[in-house]
Structure 1
Amino acid sequence: MDTGCDRSSARVGVARSWWTIAALGAAVIALCYGFARYAYGLFVPRFSATFELDPVAVGILSAVSTTGYVLGLAAAPAASARSARATTLVAGGFATAGLAAMAVAPGVVSFGIGILVAGAGAGLASPGVAQLIVQSVRGGARTRAQTWANTGTGAGLALTAFTPLLPVDWRPIWFGFAVVAAVVTAVAAWSLPRPVSGAVASGRPGDGSWPRPVVIGPLLFNATLLGAVSAPYWTFSTSRLDEAGLSPGVATWAWCAIGLVGLVGGTAGRAVERHGLRATGLVIWTCWAAGIALLALPAPGPLGAVVSAGVFGAGFMALTGLCILWGARLFPEAPSRGVTWGFLALGLGQTAGSALAGTAAGLVGLGPTFALTALLALAGWTQIHPRLAPPGRTETHEVVPDRAA
């Protein structure tokens, strides 16, 4: 299974331990997601005051961020085929440029351009890092490296959680984000291994080989479900805590718990090595549903809010990590392609999930909406059926030529 990938690993010019590559990848993902993509939601009230935004304009800017994210995802497979290292660094550069543009934007149009660029960095980051790990980490540690790198999102969320409480305007904070992003990108450029000149990774994302639809379909369904279930929490959890009478401080600690406890999601790689993708996924989906259901209680209380947020964060990081591993098994030597399709499906699920959750909240209230969301999460148990299950430890799939190639 990993012979070709091991040859690719052997061609890496500067050897690095798997945890070093994972840490560098996690740092880039932390700045691209935690800073450049998700921190936007924490500062919406301040942005609205500065640029005189109404809810419609806030929604449009959110859509602009998603557009940039999708554009980055669309470009990621071809870019990673040429150089996964360069793609990872470009992702960091886009995040830096986008954050800086937002910090100095004189008006809403230039602010939106910054959001677009920052979103594109997030779209490039995960596929680029996934491809880089395949090229730089030997087979035995790749699973752990992929899932630990993916927890960078949680680290980014934790680092930004309390920044809205700082007694300064949002622009210095945002400029600080840009400086941190520039430093992280520079460190990655200095430390990430360089492929030997003239070496070309095998199984390039653009080589035209595709699994049959019946094989890739379960990944797309799982990722779409993950997006649909996560969207209500990202969008309405703070509102639900406010509705339950909890203070903004509790909401801040809950957001921090999403990031900090989310780091536990990195252990999913070890669990997959021992128990396989299917068994690991079923356990995580079940625990995740229980964590989401805590916000359906009439009075979750501060403890319930923080526990719910921690379980949500750990589950989300773990399940997105499993999507990366699933895609990597469908495209064992070109995981950037599998990650791209999986994350596109996740984005579509989040878009639909936000709209449906808003409709449900208007009809039945936020508490019942979270109860319905928790029930929807249990649809992850459809993986029991062999046709909806991820590939096993040694399972390979027949690929067919891409008709468009």
Structure 2
Amino acid sequence: MNGNIKVAVAGFLATAVAFGPARMGYGLFLPRFREEFGFSIETAGFIASAAYGSFLLALLLTGFLSPRLGPRAPVIAGGLAAASGMGLVAGASSVHSLAAGVILAASSAGFCWVPYNNAVGRAVSENLWGRVLSIVSTGTTFGIAGAAVLALAILNTGFGWRITWAVFSVAGLAAAVVNAFALGDMRGGGPRDEGAFGIAEDMGLRELLRARAVPLYGVALSFGVTSSIFLSFAVEHVTDAGGLGGGNGEIGPILFLAFGAVGVPGMFTGEFESRIGLRRLLRIIFICSFASLALLGVAPGSWATVLVSAALQGGFVMTVSAVLAFWSLRVFPFIPAVSFTAVLLLVAAGNAAGPALASLAATRIGMGMMFLACGGLSLLTALALPRGVREYSGNQSGS
């Protein structure tokens, strides 16, 4: 198989599993988990935050391992973490074993994303870097949608959620095996392996504290908080509100299918940004996030409202993910892997804090008001973007 295709397919599979069922499957099945194990919404929030926290820790560990072992080792570790964690969920006998599986599976996303910047740089023709990285990142969209379709198909055949998670686990093992072969010649550190710690030490951590990076960091943190709250509690909120007129077992899969399918346009984020400018694009997409969260907060009992909410949030997540990658490169052109890792750490910090804070708020003001407050954060982010953001736009006159 052509080396470019081999890396693209392996990376697509790794991100599909890691950012699909491994990272987002908990929110998809949360109502069933609570019914099975009988835990509170606060416990649900802390499990979600711990899972996102494992993503943060995996990012840090990957930053240490990649320059020393190359991209192969952390990507394989991510696949094995996904397989093991989702296997634990499939066989969980208590909320503690469930939590352990969810947390371990979610760590896979931290192992699989950043190393592919190095893998593509080492194995893919330079003129194809953008195309291959787009294919790799699009695995997220298809992983979420695929997990939803699989869950819907298995649940409609009368099998329980455990079978679904067993299939997820097999997919994680397959991702590890495929990447072991596809990245077989990338065992050691190479000239393109920019360590998240080594280069940062050479350049000085102060390089990451430049004033013009503040909007980038603010967007990353806000994005981390709001997206994790939606992914953790959207299905639970709709279910608690009385469902959608029957077929409540289908709520999660259909909501996540809408979320994943509408994320496909995220592949064209660069084109959108070149036409309208970065600041305008960010304002539009954060207003979409506000609308998504507000709609879910005020009208969780309507299929139309819920599907529009999920679609808007899916477009928001995929678009901002793409923006963060090229925006960090523009702000820090000489330390791209370091800067992207720093941005992802802020996303992960928001991910870890969001669900725990949201669950505490929901017990006091209600789930609907909590979603409205979360939407307010997205709206505030849109309004607070400074005019200087246009400095980093491909179309300098566009915003």
Match in the other structure for 1:156: 143
The correspondence for 1:180, drawn from 171, 180, 194, is 171
Letter in 2 for 1:342: V
- Higher mean alpha-carbon deviation, 254-263 vs 63-72, is at 63-72
What is the match of residue 162 of structure 2?
171
CA gap 1:149/1:274 in 2 versus in 1, 3 angstroms: farther
Query: Partner of 2:323 in structure 1?
Result: 322
**1:133 maps to which of 116, 120, 124:** 120
Residue 281 of structure 2 corresponds to residue 280 of structure 1? yes
Between the two proteins, the alignment pairs up a number of residues equal to 379
TM-fit CA distance, 1:315: 1.2
Match of 2:4 among 6, 13, 16: 16
- Unaligned runs of at least 5 residues, structure 2: none
C-alpha distance after superposition, 1:88-144 (max 9, x if no partner): 222112212222233345555554443343232221122222333344445555445
Q: Is residue 61 from structure 1 mapped to residue 47 from structure 2 by the alignment?
A: yes
Cα 1:226–1:64 shift into 2, 3 Å: closer
In the alignment, the residues of structure 2 paired with residue 316 and residue 266 of structure 1 have an alpha-carbon distance, to the nearest angstrom, of 12
- The answer to whether the 8 Å contact 1:241/1:251 transfers is no
Q: Tell me, yes or no, if the aligned pair for 2:72 and 2:187 is still in contact at 8 Å.
A: no
**Once the two structures are superposed, what CA deviation does each residue of 1:268-303 show, in whole Å capped at 9, x if it has no partner?**
133345555444333322333334333355577322
Task: Find the aligned partners of 1:32 and 1:104 in 2 and give their Cα distance.
Answer: 19
- What residue number does 2:24 align with? 38
In 2, Cα distance between the equivalents of 1:185 and 1:354?
Answer: 29
SS for the counterpart of 1:38 is: helix
Q: Partner of 1:402 in structure 2?
A: none
| Whole-Å separation in 2 of the counterparts to 1:369 and 1:51 | 24
Contact 1:25/1:129 (<8 A) preserved: yes
1:118 counterpart (67, 89, 105): 105
Residue 24 of structure 1 and its aligned partner are, at CA, apart by 3.1
Per-residue Cα deviation, 1:193-247 (whole angstroms, up to 9, x for no partner): 7459884226443222242412443322111111223244223323443427624
- Contact kept? 2:194, 2:338, Cα under 8 Å: no
Q: Does 1:70 align with 2:94?
A: no
Q: Percent identity?
A: 26
Letter in 1 for 2:191: V
More displaced 10-residue stretch of structure 1: 206-215 or 330-339: 330-339
In the alignment, what sits opposite 1:403?
none
- Residue matched to 1:385: 387
Q: Which structure 1 segments of 5+ residues have no match?
A: 1-13, 396-405
**What is the one-letter code of the residue matched to 1:226?**
F
- Between 197-206 and 376-385, the greater mean CA deviation after superposition: 197-206
Q: Does the 8 Å CA contact 2:20/2:144 hold for their aligned counterparts?
A: yes
Q: Distance in 1 between matches of 2:37 and 2:368?
A: 32
Q: Deviations over 1:12-38 (max 9, x none)?
A: xx7415xx6444323211211212121
Query: Pairwise mapping of residues 90-101 of structure 1 onto structure 2 (< 5 A)?
Result: 90-101=77-88
Whether the aligned pair in 1 keeps the contact of 2:56 and 2:349 (CA below 8 Å) is: no
Q: 1:252 to 1:342 in 2, by over 3 A?
A: same
User: Does the 8 Å contact 1:130/1:324 carry over to 2?
Assistant: no
Q: Distance in 2 between matches of 1:282 and 1:172?
A: 41
Counterpart residue type for residue 16 of structure 1: N
Aligned counterparts of 1:55 and 1:360: Cα–Cα separation in 2: 10
Instruction: Find the aligned partners of 1:279 and 1:360 in 2 and give their Cα distance.
Output: 31
1:381 positional shift: 4.2
Whether contact under 8 Å (2:300, 2:306) holds in the other structure is: no
Maintained 8 Å contact 2:89/2:102? yes
The answer to whether the Cα contact below 8 Å between 2:220 and 2:344 also exists between their aligned partners in 1 is yes
Distance (whole Å) between structure 1 residues aligned to residue 371 and residue 43 of structure 2: 26
Deviation of 1:57 (Å): 4.7
Q: What is the Cα deviation at residue 66 of structure 1?
A: 2.9
Q: 49-58 vs 370-379, which deviates more?
A: 49-58
- The residue that corresponds to 1:220 in the other structure is 217
Deviations 1:26-80 (A, max 9, x none): 3211211212121122333444465554555544533442332222011121222
Label 1:390 to 1:297 Cα distance change in 2 as closer, same or farther (>3 A).
Answer: farther
Mapped contact 2:15–2:140 kept (Cα < 8 A):
yes
Greater shift in the superposed pair: 261-270 or 106-115: 106-115
